[in-house]
Amino acid sequence: MAKISVILNSYNQDEFFEEAITSVLTQSYQDFELIISENGSTDNSKQILNKYMHHKKIKILNYVENECVSKRFNQALNECEGEFVSFLYSDDIISKDKFKIQIQEFEKLDSDYGVVYGNMKIFNQYTNKSFTRSVVKSDGWCLKQQLDDIISKGHVDMVSPLSRKECFNNYQFLENVFAEGEGIFLRIALSYKFKYLSHTFAYFRDTRFNNGKALIKNLSFHLETLKKLQQDKIFEKKDYLTAINKYKFNFQQNIAWGNLRANGETKNSKKIFFDILKLENLNFFNLRTFCILILLCFPNLILKIFNIMMNKILNVKTNNISIENYGGNNK
């Protein structure tokens, strides 16, 4: 039985797919199984997959139809034999010593620790620039810290963590949304400690069509996670209730801002802005709130010119665009 189960989700990224597979197979720590969930690709991904049909470390779940990522993750988790789980997407890669370092850390920790994670480096596929993305640095019980600090310091991503499999036995991915993504780690933080290590464990490839650029879709998905999260009794405590309300305000505000800065549909930012413009949120207002209000008054052409200027002034390193959908069956 393998110590680690790696779940690799594949959908229409044949240009990078094999590099993702190789980054797992060449790990310095070799006690793992790789479960590839091929989610109905229509490009050359299935042909690439054929090369690994008989690999002793690889288990293939080869689906004809594209379904929600949350469902595919849950199906793959049901096939896992490892004590620990790591996730990967077919356009990303992991560092060679990821599993070795994280297993060594788990051996030092008590059983309350469910997640060991670290840094992620972002590589812009079009400018060939790379940089380390900031992340909240947690050690121990950290739900409130994450709610307080994720917006300013960065969320725990899907690829850098190694987690105990039991975390996902207790908190399955929500299948009423296409992709719950990183939000699941907020729910896991209800019952498990986290450990941050200052290592770069994952490399995220920034293309024009990363799912994270579907800002409005991601907002609706994440609000479902928060709705589920807030059902826990811990939010009967005033400080936790304040923390999640402030987090929801700032998250929605950031989506409204990000959508404007990426030249998304202005009507979407207006709707989000007026959704959060409620009396009980007045104490959360900040400078960005007023900046959004000003940008909403700009004609589209002026807004586009403004964004071009700001991207140059701020030396924006990511592909700052907005897309509407993930692609595939993501209704």
The three-class DSSP label of residue 111 is: coil
Between 302 and 231, the higher pLDDT residue: 231
Span 93-102, pLDDT tens digits: 999 999 999 9
pLDDT band at 52 (very low <50, low <70, confident <90, very high): very high
pLDDT attached to residue 211: 45
Mean pLDDT on 199-221: 77
Residue 206 φ then ψ, to 5°:
-90, 105
**Range of lowest pLDDT (22-26, 156-160, 202-206):** 202-206
Between 236 and 130, the higher pLDDT residue: 236
Please name every residue paired with 5 in a beta bridge, in sequence order, or none if there are none.
33, 85
Mean pLDDT on 201-208: 84
**Range of lowest pLDDT (197-201, 223-227, 319-323):** 319-323
CA distance 145 to 150: 8
Q: Does residue 262 have a pLDDT over 50?
A: yes
pLDDT attached to residue 261: 87
At 237, the amino acid letter reads: K
**Range of lowest pLDDT (7-11, 105-109, 264-268, 324-328):** 324-328
CA distance 289 to 4: 44
pLDDT band at 208 (very low <50, low <70, confident <90, very high): low
- What does the mean pLDDT of the chain come to? 90
Q: Any idea where the domains of the chain sit in the sequence? A: 4-207, 213-313
* Count of CB atoms situated within 10 Å of the CB of 61: 17
Q: Does residue 91 have a pLDDT over 80?
A: yes
3-state SS of 13-33 is CHHHHHHHHHHHHCCCCCCEE
pLDDT over 70, % of the chain: 92
Q: Does residue 294 have a pLDDT over 50?
A: yes
pTM over 0.75: yes
Q: Does residue 75 have a pLDDT over 70?
A: yes
Top CATH class of 4-207 equals alpha beta
**Which long-range contacts link 59-67 to residues 24+ away (Cβ below 8 Å)?**
59/33, 59/34, 59/35, 60/35, 60/36, 61/35, 61/36, 61/37, 62/38, 63/37, 63/38, 63/39, 64/40, 65/40, 65/329, 66/11, 66/39, 66/40, 66/41, 66/328, 66/329, 67/39, 67/40, 67/329
Between 1 and 310, the higher pLDDT residue: 310
